[in-house]
Structure 1
Amino acid sequence: MLKNLSIQSVSWLSSLVVATIDALSTFNLILFCIFSCCTRLQKCPTTVQDFLVLGAAVKHGQVPPVLATRLDKAINCWKTHQSAKIIVSGGIVQKAKESEAEVMAAYLIAHGIPARKIICETQALNTWQNLTFARQLIKPQETVVVVTSDFHVLRARAYARKMGLNWSFISSKTPWRYCPLTFIRDYLGIIRDHWWVFCGSTLLLLLVEFILK
């Protein structure tokens, strides 16, 4: 079919494909950013038995700003649910000496959380494993609130639904200077996990545009 097309037609089709993908990607990214920001409005449930804070890379044993906002959110919520436990999840990455969970636990203790209220899950290396390994530490009937960054809620919640976990999610606000990188990175992660939806939408939009042309 392409052999019978003129150079101008091929060029037009190429431009149409590029423009469609660009427009769809931009539109979806905007929707993703709006949804992520709206997750900050989610309030903590009145009954909580476990807070699960999802880990992020630590640097030289220190909690970076994005992870600090997650922990601060958990601390503020725990103050009104002091009977709850806080599970911190994250393993050893990039040849670190301590696991993410251990560094997170130290941060919580330094900010007034009793050590007896903290449970460390030190094996997880990604979001899927965060949820999988943490589930093994939680009784099925317990009420769980997952604390993560605003840009991370959509992907983490999608994983939880796949696992059949009916957990609540609350998010922390990402520091402004980290927004471009973190939002785009997680958006690309969602496209990777749901590539068939993105490809199907693109093909459908291309078909509509081709017919209208």
Structure 2
Amino acid sequence: MLTALGPAPIIAVVFLLLYVSCRRHDPRMLRNGVFLTAAAFFALVTVVSALTLVVPGFGFVVAFGLLLVPLAVVALGVALIANGVQMLRAEGRSLGNMLSLVAGVLVFVLPAIAVALFVSTRSGASSPWNAIGVALAVLMVFVCGYFAVALVAFAVYSVVYGRMRHGLTPDAIVVLGSGLVRGEVPPLLRSRLDRGLGIYRAERAAGRRPVLIPSGGQGDDEPRPEGAAMAEYLLANGAEEQDVLPETASRNTRENLAYSRAVQTEAGRDGQVVVVTNDYHVLRAATLARRLDLPAQVVGARTAAYYVPSAFLREFVAVVVAHRWLNVLACAPFVLFTAFLLWESFQQR
């Protein structure tokens, strides 16, 4: 039976062991998501293969499921476009708010381009342009496949990490800022502050007294720093004044974390940190905390469902950009393979 299943069970176990080992070392590493996704994929392959061997007719069920994949892709594209339109109506026009709309359009456009490139090689006389078209189509399939897998791994581990219980005893609770609306705390930011207050109250009930650090500077379109408005909200909702130490100079998540750590240490609190943000932002904030070598773990607050797809895609793009050279290196074999196919084609002419 095991021999008939091929190498999939062994590969699944190897990736699972890598995941468990790396997660125990540091749960904030992005590679954990790659290992977990690979383990789940090969475990699924193992289960499907086993059922195909022992359940008569199960192979037809698998084949039918594969035939539904194109319909699932179409449904995904339609859902992303619909979400993009909703985002533009609810949040206004901006590049970040258009990400789900752009992604939905690309779900339809990129396969159409690849098919058109392949079909064009079947018509007319053979020419160097046909070979180039095939090479570009192959490269597009490889690169899109790579980023699709990376997105799935990032999504899977974002959910897993966001549901971990870290068991910290925090000296500080850092609440990351987001934009104010006319100088006031909007619902998105309020959800972060409420989650931070919940942790603060639980620590106080346990006899501990961490400091609350609302973190955020003043944007070009904001009448006051985010940290100041956040501190006002915390005080109005039960936090003790001596426990609230706002950070008001940061301009991005990295600075939120670094500057808040400085505020924490200046207050004589150099212990562990719980960072609070929204659920879609948890994993990227955690990876930044790791790169800054902070003794911090990140927890998420709930976000309106319609807001999550665009916000999550924005986080994925930010992670890709932050690790751009790693991604270039990962895509290099695809480029080299495509170049080899192209060279072989010209050699045969």
TM-score category of the 2 structures, normalised to the smaller one? 0.7 to 0.9
Match of 1:64 among 180, 186, 196: 186
Find out whether 1:104 has 2:230 as its counterpart: yes
Aligned partners of 1:33 and 1:151 also within 8 Å: no
Match of 1:122 among 245, 248, 258: 248
How far did residue 63 of structure 1 move?
Answer: 2.0
After superposition, the C-alpha distances for 1:170-205 in whole angstroms (9 at most, x for unaligned) are 222322111122111111111111011111222224
Task: State the AA in 2 paired with 1:73.
Answer: R
Aligned partners of 1:52 and 1:145 also within 8 Å: yes
The residue that corresponds to 1:86 in the other structure is 212
Report the TM-score, using the length of structure 1 for normalisation: 0.88
Cα distance between partner residues in 2 of 1:150 and 1:205: 33
Greater per-residue helix proportion: 2
Q: Secondary structure at the match of 2:298?
A: strand
Q: 1:39 to 1:150 in 2, by over 3 A?
A: farther
How far did residue 92 of structure 1 move?
Answer: 0.4
How far did residue 210 of structure 1 move?
Answer: 7.6
C-alpha RMSD over aligned residues: 2.2
Query: Which structure 2 residue ranges, 5 or more long, are not aligned?
Result: 1-126, 345-349
How far did residue 159 of structure 1 move?
Answer: 2.1
Aligned partners of 2:175 and 2:214 also within 8 Å: yes
Cα distance between partner residues in 2 of 1:187 and 1:54: 18
Higher RCO by CA contacts (8 Å cutoff, separation 6 or greater): 1
Find out whether 1:158 has 2:309 as its counterpart: no
The residue that corresponds to 1:191 in the other structure is 320
How far did residue 116 of structure 1 move?
Answer: 2.3
Size of the aligned set, in residue pairs, is 209
Moved more, 29-38 or 199-208: 199-208
Cα distance between partner residues in 1 of 2:187 and 2:340: 49
Greater per-residue strand proportion: 1
Task: State the AA in 2 paired with 1:61.
Answer: G
Q: Secondary structure at the match of 2:299?
A: strand
Aligned partners of 1:40 and 1:173 also within 8 Å: no
After superposition, the C-alpha distances for 1:108-161 in whole angstroms (9 at most, x for unaligned) are 223222222211000001111111211111237322111112222222222222
Match of 1:38 among 141, 160, 166: 160
Q: Secondary structure at the match of 1:79?
A: helix
Cα distance between partner residues in 2 of 1:40 and 1:154: 7
Find out whether 1:132 has 2:258 as its counterpart: yes
Task: State the AA in 2 paired with 1:129.
Answer: E
Task: State the AA in 1 paired with 2:167.
Answer: P
Q: Secondary structure at the match of 2:246?
A: strand
Report the TM-score, using the length of structure 2 for normalisation: 0.55
Cα distance between partner residues in 1 of 2:301 and 2:274: 13
Cα distance between partner residues in 1 of 2:264 and 2:232: 21
Moved more, 189-198 or 26-35: 26-35
Moved more, 189-198 or 165-174: 165-174
The residue that corresponds to 1:179 in the other structure is 308
Q: 1:156 to 1:141 in 2, by over 3 A?
A: same
The residue that corresponds to 2:130 in the other structure is 8
Q: Secondary structure at the match of 1:58?
A: coil
Q: Secondary structure at the match of 2:309?
A: helix
Identity of matched residues, % = 27
Moved more, 117-126 or 171-180: 171-180
Aligned partners of 1:44 and 1:77 also within 8 Å: no
Aligned partners of 1:69 and 1:172 also within 8 Å: yes
Moved more, 37-46 or 20-29: 37-46
The residue that corresponds to 1:202 in the other structure is 331
